[in-house]
Amino acid sequence: MDQVTISFPVLLSLHLLLLASGAVSTTSFTFVNKCGYSVWPGILSNAGVAQLPITGFALQTGESKTITAPTAWGGRFWGRTLCTQDAAGKFSCLTGDCGTGKVECSGSGAAPPTTLAEFTLDGVGGQDFFDVSLVDGYNIAMVVTPQGGSGEKCTTTGCVGDVNGVCPSELRVMSGDNREGVACKSACEVFGTPQYCCRDAYGTADTCKPTAYSQIFKRVCPRAYSYAYDDKTATFTCSSAADYTVTFCPSSNGNISQKSWEGQKPKPGSSGSASPQLNNGTMVYVGAMDQSDISGLTDTHVWESQAIAGFISIAMAFWLLCRFY
Beta strand 26-33 pairing with 243-248: parallel
Q: Does residue 315 belong to any structural domain of this protein? A: no
What is the C-alpha R_g of the chain? 22
What is the number of alpha carbons within 13 Å of residue 95 lying toward its C-beta?
29
Beta strand 74-85 pairing with 116-120: antiparallel
Q: Does residue 109 belong to any structural domain of this protein? A: yes
**What local confidence, expressed as pLDDT, does residue 176 receive?**
86
Amino acid, res. 89 = G
The whole-model pTM stands at: 0.74
Q: Does residue 163 belong to any structural domain of this protein? A: yes
Contact 80, 98 (CB under 8 A): yes
What contacts 72, CB < 8 A, 6 or more positions away? 121, 122
Domain count, the chain: 1
**What local confidence, expressed as pLDDT, does residue 45 receive?**
98
Three-point CA angle 17, 18, 23, nearest 5°: 155
Q: Does residue 311 belong to any structural domain of this protein? A: no
Q: What values do phi and psi take at 73, rounded to 5?
A: -75, 155
**What local confidence, expressed as pLDDT, does residue 295 receive?**
41
Q: Does residue 14 belong to any structural domain of this protein? A: no
Q: Does residue 73 belong to any structural domain of this protein? A: yes
HEC-encoded secondary structure of the chain: CCCCCCCHHHHHHHHHHHHHHCCCCEEEEEEEECECCCEEEEEEECCCCCCCCCCECCECCCCEEEEEEECCCEEEEEEEEEEEECCCCCEEEEECCCCCCCCCCCCCCCCCCCCEEEEECCCHHHCEEEEEECCCCECCCEEEEEECCECCCCCCEEECCCHHHHCCCCCEEECCCCCCEEEECCHHHHHCCHHHHCCHHHCCCCCCCCCHHHHHHHHHCCCCECCCCCHHHHCEEEECCCEEEEEECCCCCECCCCCCCHHHCCCCCCCCCCCCCCCCCCCCCCCCCCHHHHCCCCCHHHHHHHHHHHHHHHHHHHHHHHHHC
Question: Residue 159, Cβ neighbours under 10 Å: how many?
Answer: 27
| Cα torsion through 67, 223, 206, 266, rounded to 10 | 140
d(CA 233, CA 235): 6
**What local confidence, expressed as pLDDT, does residue 264 receive?**
31
Q: What values do phi and psi take at 69, rounded to 5?
A: -140, 155
Contact 121, 149 (CB under 8 A): no
**What local confidence, expressed as pLDDT, does residue 196 receive?**
97
Q: Does residue 22 belong to any structural domain of this protein? A: no
Give the residue numbers spanning the domain of 62: 27-297
Contact 93, 82 (CB under 8 A): yes
Contact 113, 189 (CB under 8 A): yes
Full pLDDT tens readout for the chain, 325 residues: 454 444 545 444 444 444 444 444 889 999 999 999 999 999 999 999 999 999 999 999 999 999 999 989 999 999 999 999 999 999 999 999 999 999 999 999 999 999 999 999 999 999 999 999 999 999 999 999 999 889 999 999 999 999 999 999 999 999 988 889 999 999 999 999 999 999 999 999 999 999 999 999 999 999 999 999 998 889 999 998 789 999 999 974 444 443 323 333 333 333 333 444 333 332 222 233 343 444 444 333 334 444 444 444 455 555 544 555 5
C-alpha 224: how far from chain center: 11
d(CA 231, CA 234): 5
Q: Does residue 77 belong to any structural domain of this protein? A: yes
**What local confidence, expressed as pLDDT, does residue 240 receive?**
81
**What local confidence, expressed as pLDDT, does residue 148 receive?**
87
The domain spanning residue 223 has which CATH number? 2.60.110.10
Q: Which of 43, 156, 157, 175 is nearest to 110 (CA)?
A: 43
**What local confidence, expressed as pLDDT, does residue 19 receive?**
42
**What local confidence, expressed as pLDDT, does residue 7 receive?**
52
